Amino acid sequence: MRRTEWIAVDWGTSTLRAWTIDHNGQVFQKLQSSSGVSVLMPNEFEATLLELIAPFLDHDAVTTVLCCGMVGARQGWEEAKYSMVPCQTGGIKDAHRVITMDKRLEVVILPGFAQSLPADVMRGEETQIAGFLKWEPNFFGTICLPGTHTKWAQISANEVVSFRTFLTGEIFELLTKHSTLRFNLTTDAWDQAAFLDAVNDALSAPHYFSSRLFEIRSDALLNEIHAETARARLSGFVIGLELAGARAYWLGQDIALIGSSSLCSLYQTALEQQGINSETHDGDDMVLEGLKAAYRSLRLASS
């Protein structure tokens, strides 16, 4: 049986993911649980983690569990303080060590990043950025991480210089589930032309955003537009509004997108329409590479 040297953990709001790493630095088991930070009390984290990883622990040794994500937030297991930008990624200077009941565990939580002006924070995305910069250390430009809270991070000299967060994904979810538009968004089918038209519309006239949203409802009632057109237009409006706000981060910049393939594809298409090329990278791959980089720093610091 392969032995576990350490365990990488990405513990977010809704999901707990872990990778067991052997002595050659190779993943031999990927584990996942729906026990995200949002459903746990502080005294439940250790038991929840052990339920997932216990079969891969050595009873006669201490195993390092290196964590990133919302597990280090104020409402998480224990708060890991933020590193203030500008700063390099992949370090462990501000990492937080959790005292556990189970002596087989050495739990270390990586810090998030914070920015004073304008006030902004991230937890988890900084580790994805670190994973990307491991492979492209000379990258100079902007990294966009689409998601519930999309991040745009300016990168220079292997540092995060500044970043901005947009609640685009959360706004989209709220509108699709709780607004009057929900009655017209009854499909996952897609109208690409409608999406691109809406992106352009929001970019050129962001002040009409809320009016354009209601227009989706009116068009459905009066002109019987298809649900796939309504859904694509909504997505185009919210992403276009974000691009209008993030223009300084992407205009004339080299762009890397990190996240799920479906979301990155939407952003890539929207940017292409504005004459901006971008490269895409899988978010799971990048967070794992970022955790590996942090583990190497941890071992060097303790040697």
pLDDT digits (tens, 9 = 90+) for 200-232: 999 999 999 999 999 999 999 999 899 999 999
Phi/psi of residue 16, nearest 5 degrees? -110, 120
3-state secondary structure of 142: strand
**Model confidence pLDDT, tens digit, residues 30-55:** 999 999 999 999 999 999 999 999 99
Tell me whether the omega of the peptide bond preceding residue 118 falls within 30 degrees of 0, making it cis. Answer: yes
**Residue 92: its pLDDT value, please?**
84
Joined tokens for residue 208: 């009409």
pLDDT tens digits for range 271-283 = 999 999 999 999 9
- Over the chain, what is the mean pLDDT? 95
Two tokens at 106? 């050495």
- Report d(CA 217, CA 239) in Å as an integer: 18
Place of tokens 């002040």: 207
Cα-only R_g, the chain: 21
87 pLDDT above the threshold of 70: yes
Handedness of CA 228, 230, 236, 238 (dihedral sign): negative
Bridge partner list, 63: 105
- Identify the pLDDT of residue 1: 62
Phi, psi values for residue 99, rounded to 5°: -85, 120
Between the alpha carbon of residue 196 and those of residues 147, 186, 201, 270, the distances in Å are 19, 20, 9, 7
Distance from C-alpha of 147 to C-alpha of 163, rounded to nearest angstrom: 15
Q: CA-to-CA distance for 40 and 37, rounded, in angstroms? A: 5
pLDDT surpasses 90 at 303: no
Beta strands in the chain (DSSP E): 6-11, 16-21, 27-33, 63-68, 83-84, 87-88, 96-98, 105-109, 113-115, 120-122, 141-145, 150-156, 159-166, 255-259, 278-282
pLDDT for residue 301? 82
Q: What percent of the chain has pLDDT over 70?
A: 99
* Domains in the chain, CATH or no CATH each: 6-123 (3.30.420.300), 165-282 (3.30.420.310)
- CA-CA-CA-CA dihedral for 172, 178, 179, 180, to nearest 10: 130
- pLDDT on residue 46: 98
